[in-house]
């Protein structure tokens, strides 16, 4: 109809489809206090650390995204799952990057025998194999190499990654399987693909480490079935990734303690505290006009900042000196609680005076030379006490929150310090 009989206007009619809105089902809410949390089926690990990391084991129907740099050990760790799970659950390893000979050779080296394997880039083929084998755990390595039918784009494109992730999550929930998705990361350290990928999954973990070091750190940043910010340390060996039972002992070598420039400090990764060793070397430069400032496993910009604070408030000069700072063990330290230890280490090396090996130094340093409070001091002191530490320098700024009576059972002698000058005076007189 061209002309409207009501208003007399032409071309004013619009086509509209009449859709039936489905009638909503009646649902009833439930009191959260009545939810039985113990009823969530889980696959426990042999390791107590991994059980704590995932909140009691792998929750049934959960989807876990594991990300990390190429060659860091993601595939190695996931291929070890049959050995790591307590009840010897069936694991199907699906790879879009390697064939059966490559994976079988690595499995033999790792001592893994009871694992199913499929090499495919087609998501529908992968789902068909899962229905045939009926495993309890499925690993897809990686989400960027599989393609979903009926979706435009090459594998790894945003549309394909989104489609693969959505269908994989829906499949895992419907089949009650634990699904691991391996994700690649970009140069900037974020997971490649749309951000929706991290929102869809239940758990997001990162495997990090320096390729020059055998240490690997498994970090949890999202977990719908347990706590977040947990960490587990592994050591890369010829037989795969082996869990580090005593991390503080891994980072500290007693042979290098009580040497000028060596100081014990503490870092917190997630919810765990570790004792680490801070080493520095201050030596006259061969070319005084072009001194060097080198930091290993530590932010070199933070080192510049602490050098400037030490020069102004300790009355020392690093001009004409090469400065080298190192955190042994392979753990990159971002915790500002090591600031005071770095300052003490630099002063120790410059003055050629050593710090006793039973002393730990904890505190953040500000621009005015004040020692600021840091989190989880109690946990840091407990871990330090287990390593034989008997004397602790802790921050006194904003009021000392820990009293000597609070650590009586730890047999620790506390020395609250408000400024870096006080710390140097306590240690060196």
Instruction: Please say if the pLDDT value at position 13 is more than 90.
Output: no
Residue 276 lies in a domain: yes
298 lies in some domain: yes
Which residues, at least 6 apart from 123, have a Cβ–Cβ distance to it below 8 Å? 146, 147, 148, 149, 164, 167, 168
Residue that wins the pLDDT comparison between 11 and 366: 366
Give the integer Cα–Cα distance in Å for 93 and 116. Answer: 6
Helix (H) / strand (E) element for 344: namely helix 339-351
Q: Is residue 21 part of a domain?
A: no
For position 60, which CATH number holds?
3.40.50.300
Mind listing the pLDDT tens digit for each residue in 197-208?
Answer: 899 999 999 999
Whether residue 13 lies inside any domain: the answer is no
Query: What's the confidence (pLDDT) of residue 399?
Result: 44
* CATH number of the domain residue 313 falls in: 3.30.230.10
| pLDDT for 5 beyond 80 | no
* Of the candidates 368, 425, 366, 418, the residue with the CA atom closest to the CA atom of residue 395: 418
- So what's the pLDDT on residue 404? 59
Going by C-alpha positions, the residue among 240, 303, 237, 232 that lies closest to residue 274 is 232
328 and 253 in a single domain? The answer is yes
Do 281 and 195 share a structural domain? no
Higher-scoring residue by pLDDT: 6, 303: 303
The answer to whether residues 114 and 173 belong to one domain is yes
How confident is the model over 282-334, as pLDDT tens digits?
999 998 888 999 999 999 999 999 999 999 999 999 999 999 999 999 899 99
Structure-token match 């529908």, residue found: 124
Spatial CB neighbours of 328, under 8 Å, sequence gap ≥ 6: 251, 253, 256, 276, 277, 279, 297
At 401 the pLDDT is 62
How far is it, in rounded angstroms, from Cα 171 to Cα 127? 8
Examine the domain organization and report whether 166 and 267 are in the same domain: no
**248-261 pLDDT tens trace:** 889 998 888 999 99
* Same-domain check for residues 359 and 391: yes
- 303 and 339 together in one domain: yes
- Is residue 335 within 8 Å of residue 275, measured between CB atoms? no
Same domain for 262 and 229, yes or no, is no
What DSSP designation does 33 have?
G
- b (16+ CB within 10 A) / e for 54-69: bbbbbbbbbbbbbbbb
210, 245, 280 - which closes a domain: 245
Do 199 and 108 have their domain in common? yes
Examine residue 27 and state whether it is found in any structural domain, yes or no. Answer: no
Bridge partners of 268, per DSSP, are 273
Of the residues 196, 218, 245, the one at which a domain ends: 245
Segment 153-182 shows an average pLDDT of 92
| Cα–Cα dist 427/393, whole Å | 9
pLDDT tens digits, 104-133: 999 999 999 888 999 999 999 999 999 999
Please identify, among 201, 220, 245, the residue that sits at the C-terminal boundary of a domain.
Answer: 245
In a domain? residue 149: yes
Predicted TM-score (pTM) of the model is 0.82
Gap between the Cα atoms of 321 and 164, Å rounded: 56
Structural domain contains residue 28:
no
Residue 400 reports pLDDT greater than 70:
no
Same domain, 289 and 407: yes
| Mean pLDDT along residues 186-213 | 87
How confident is the model over 259-287, as a mean pLDDT?
A: 93
Range name among 140-149, 170-179, 222-231, 385-394 with the lowest pLDDT average? 222-231
Same domain assignment for residues 236 and 365: no
Query: 188 and 157 in contact (C-beta within 8 Å)?
Result: no
Residue 38, pLDDT > 60, answer yes
H or E segment to which residue 169 belongs: helix 158-175
Overall number of domains in the chain: 2
Same domain, 229 and 313: no
Q: Is the pLDDT of residue 366 over 90?
A: yes
Which residue segment(s) compose the domain that 268 sits in?
249-428
Q: What is the pLDDT of residue 22?
A: 72
Please check whether residue 184 lies inside any domain of the structure. Answer: yes
Are 114 and 240 part of one and the same domain? yes
Q: What is the pLDDT of residues 44-81, one digit of tens each?
A: 999 999 999 998 899 999 999 999 998 899 999 999 99
């Amino acid at each position: 109809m061209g002309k409207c009989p009501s208003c007399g206007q032409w071309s004013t009619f619009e086509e509209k489809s009449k859709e039936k809105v489905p009638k909503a089902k009646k649902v009833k809410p439930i009191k959260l206090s009545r939810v039985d949390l113990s009823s969530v089926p889980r696959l426990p690990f042999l390791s107590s650390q991994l059980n704590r990391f995932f909140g009691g084991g792998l929750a049934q129907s959960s989807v876990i995204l594991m990300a990390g740099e190429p060659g860091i050990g993601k595939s190695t760790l996931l291929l070890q799952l049959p050995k790591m799970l307590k009840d010897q659950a069936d694991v199907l390893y699906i790879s879009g990057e390697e064939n059966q000979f490559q994976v079988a050779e690595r499995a033999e080296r790792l001592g893994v025998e009871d694992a199913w394997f499929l090499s495919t880039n087609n998501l529908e083929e992968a789902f068909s194999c899962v229905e045939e084998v009926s495993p309890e755990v499925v690993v897809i390595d990686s989400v960027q190499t599989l393609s979903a039918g009926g979706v435009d784009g090459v594998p790894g494109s945003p549309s394909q990654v989104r489609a693969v992730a959505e269908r994989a999550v829906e499949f895992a929930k419907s089949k009650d399987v634990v699904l691991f998705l391996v994700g690649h990361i970009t140069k900037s350290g974020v997971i490649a693909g749309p951000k929706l990928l991290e929102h869809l999954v239940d758990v997001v973990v990162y495997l990090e480490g320096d390729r020059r070091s055998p240490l690997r750190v498994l970090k949890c940043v999202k977990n719908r079935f347990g706590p977040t910010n947990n960490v587990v340390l592994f050591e890369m060996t010829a037989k795969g990734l082996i869990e580090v039972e005593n991390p503080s002992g891994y980072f500290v070598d007693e042979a290098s303690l009580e040497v000028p420039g060596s100081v014990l400090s503490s870092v917190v990764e997630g919810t765990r505290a570790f004792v680490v060793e801070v080493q520095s070397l201050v030596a006259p430069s061969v070319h005084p006009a072009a001194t060097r400032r080198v930091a290993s496993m530590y932010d070199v910009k933070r080192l510049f900042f602490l050098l400037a604070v030490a020069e102004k408030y300790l009355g020392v000069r690093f001009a004409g000196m090469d400065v080298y700072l190192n955190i042994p063990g392979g753990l990159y330290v971002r915790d500002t609680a090591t600031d005071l230890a770095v300052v003490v280490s630099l002063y120790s090396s410059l003055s050629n005076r050593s710090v006793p090996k039973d002393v730990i130094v904890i505190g953040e340093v500000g621009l005015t030379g004040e020692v600021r409070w840091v989190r989880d001091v109690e946990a840091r002191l407990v871990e330090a006490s287990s390593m034989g530490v008997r004397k602790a320098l802790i921050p006194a700024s904003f009021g000392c929150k820990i009293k000597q009576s609070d650590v009586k059972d730890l047999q620790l002698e506390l020395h609250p310090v408000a400024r870096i000058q006080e710390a140097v005076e306590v240690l060196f007189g």
